[in-house]
A and B are shown apart, each in its own frame.
Chain A
Amino acid sequence: MAANSPLPSSLINSSSSSSCLKCNQIRFGESQKLSVRCDTFHSVQIKRSMASSASKSKRVWLFYCPEMQSLAQRVAAQSDSIDLRCIIWKKFEDGFPNIFIPGAQAIRGQHVAFLASFSSPGVIFEQQSVLFALPKLFVSSFTLVLPFFPTGTSERMEEEGDVATAYTLARNLSSIPISRGGPTSLVTFDIHALQERFYFGDTILPCFESGIPLLKNRLQHLPDSHNISIAFPDDGAWKRFHKQLQHFPTIVCAKVREGSQRIVRIKEGEPEGRHVVIVDDLVQSGGTLIECQRVLAAHGAAKISAYVTHGIFPNSSWRRFKHDDGGI
């Protein structure tokens, strides 16, 4: 079971109180926000040291979609060079977006970024409208920050007729107009399939980041940091992450067929007596994590935790992980 050790206070980021004073943000209609209860999960932020002087860092105007307001505020709080800007998101009666970008003339010559979240198909079109409009406002450069690249995580191209929605999304993003800064930079974290980088045309420069450094930092602050082993639920996760986690002992799981069932087994590594941290890029129902946890416990793991970059948890599947008072 997961151990909750208290966080050193220097690492806890108090939520930013900066609000967008210029903004008159209105959101009509139903919002479909992913809501995750944060009482069980602590958010950890690493303050970057300002190594470069203010004159060297680019001044960036950061726009964002409504779902990402709180993260955008935290990003802007990290640096004097990042200015939070707002967009007016309304809808017409027919449900189609009615969007206005304030300050469209002042934006000329600025470096501009947009923090997007495609948490469901319904919110893509309105954000895409902004993505197609911003680069054409004579900006110096345009960066799209899309922390989670959805689609492609559950689908498999197995036969003719399968439709790859990851291709649709990559194609849509590839048609973002180029700006005076050239192709659009696309920042995404722990993309599910590395070959998706080849789905983008020349108008996009993908920049693949990872959340693993945040995990490593957190693990080092645990009281039993010397006793940590990393477990990968399958070979895919091992391929994605083992190089970044080389200095930890490693356990690799695998799913094997037994009759009509698929069972998780330990392929390599030794969990006995260790605090084992299962690492993967994302979690959906959580079924895989729970099966891995059982196998690791059966092999003598002292404690078991999990890390995923993207906590998708459709249909509130995070509930099965909450500690209840029974303390299982």
Chain B
Amino acid sequence: MEEKTQFQKKQVLLFYCIEYEDLARQVASQSDVITLQSINWRNFDDGFPNLYINNAQNIRGQHVAFLASFSSPAVIFEQLSVIYALPRLFVASFTLVLPFFPTGSFERMEEEGDVATAFTMARILSNIPISRGGPTSLVIYDIHALQERFYFGDHVLPLFETGIPLLKQRLHQLPDADKIVVAFPDDGAWKRFHKQLYHFPMVVCTKVREGDKRIVRLKEGNAAGCHVVIVDDLVQSGGTLIECQKVLKAHGAAKVSAYVTHGVFPKRSWERFIHKADGLENVFEYFWITDSCPLTVKAIANKAPFEVLSLAGSISDALQI
């Protein structure tokens, strides 16, 4: 992105959900033109939200953004109420930053009757009222299925960002930066990321059926003697990563690390990756995630092999678009 002078930069008022307070502070600290705002998040006795947007009169004519995290269905409604209210407060423009677009990562539309919750989510977001700045900009990092871009109506402008530049920057800092090979656990990951990582040697894995089992095999590329970094958009149970790691080791990889943009890790599944004191089970050298999934970030803080690469700088830049 071109550097803008102070005159050209948009002043942005940044609201955020409770889960993202840390990331919001980091985003605001990246830039002089981003100011944090606050919302009173309370509940009535019946469990429904009792919300108040502080300073609502003074946001008129300002560029406003909201940092949202839909980590579970239960937190959607309260954030949505704020998202539907902010654009109507005479703001100059409205941007919704939703680093992780949940839903759709497990589901398959295979027959009539399957219900696509990714469609539900996109429809709900497409219904955000337009503001004086026109359609709402919607910033999403490494969306799971690229065709989901077509699920959105004309009142939102999706802006698809990626965490890969953070990975590349981190890899260049490693002492064995010249021995890095990037591995994709399946063709889907290759399609999503290979163009951004073309200057690294690549390995592609694939799942094949053997009897009633599905086994991970190496499809192309050479891992021998290298530090192999498995790259994917997200991790859930971690099973896929563990199987890939075994295959790569069997093919002679010296070290294996992993990067995912979204460390979803439901039900604390990150535990299986934590380095133990006896070192026997420490199969991953590094495990990089971004701070898109704040509940995970809190849980794995300072626990090897995890390192968090922050989206704050990237979000701060995206707010200038």
Pick from B81, B116, B264: contact of A168, CB under 8 Å:
B81
Interface membership of chain B positions 240-275, coded 1 if the CB is closer than 8 angstroms to chain A and 0 otherwise: 000000000000000000000000101101000000
Once bound together, how far apart are the Cα atoms of A101 and B103, in whole Å?
18
Contact A100 B115 (CB under 8 A): yes
Contact B264 A100 (CB under 8 A): no
Contact A172 B124 (CB under 8 A): yes
Q: Does A121 contact B (CB under 8 A)?
A: yes
User: Which residues from A are CB-within-8-Å of B117?
Assistant: 96-97, 99, 125, 129
Pick from A96, A104, A163: contact of B73, CB under 8 Å:
A96
Q: Does B276 contact A (CB under 8 A)?
A: no
Interface membership of chain A positions 81-120, coded 1 if the CB is closer than 8 angstroms to chain B and 0 otherwise: 0000000000011111111111111000000000000011
Interface membership of chain A positions 119-160, coded 1 if the CB is closer than 8 angstroms to chain B and 0 otherwise: 111111110111011000100000000000011011100011
User: Which residues from B are CB-within-8-Å of A129?
Assistant: 115-117, 119-120
User: Which size bracket describes the interface of B in this complex?
Assistant: 35 or more
Please count the residue pairs between chain A and chain B whose beta carbons lie under 8 angstroms apart in the complex: 151
Contact A93 B266 (CB under 8 A): yes
Interface membership of chain B positions 60-97, coded 1 if the CB is closer than 8 angstroms to chain A and 0 otherwise: 00000000000011111110111011000100000000
Contact A171 B84 (CB under 8 A): yes
Contact B48 A150 (CB under 8 A): yes
Interface membership of chain A positions 160-177, coded 1 if the CB is closer than 8 angstroms to chain B and 0 otherwise: 111111011001101100
Contact A165 B237 (CB under 8 A): no
Q: Does B282 contact A (CB under 8 A)?
A: no
Contact A92 B48 (CB under 8 A): no
Number of residues of chain A lying within 8 A (CB) of chain B: 52
User: Given known contacts A93-B236, A93-B266, A160-B56, is B73 in contact with A101 (CB within 8 Å)?
Assistant: no
Residues of chain A from 69 to 89 with CB closer than 8 A to chain B in the complex = none
Contact A155 B76 (CB under 8 A): no
Contact B81 A175 (CB under 8 A): no
Contact A160 B89 (CB under 8 A): yes
Pick from B44, B45, B51, B111: contact of A163, CB under 8 Å:
B51
Contact B73 A126 (CB under 8 A): yes
Once bound together, how far apart are the Cα atoms of A211 and B102, in whole Å?
40
User: Which residues from B are CB-within-8-Å of A35?
Assistant: none
Contact B45 A285 (CB under 8 A): yes
> Considering the complex of A and B, which 3 residue pairs feature the smallest CB-CB distances, nearest first?
A161-B56, A104-B113, A122-B74
6 contacts between A and B (CB under 8 A): A97-B117, A129-B117, A133-B119, A154-B45, A160-B89, A168-B77
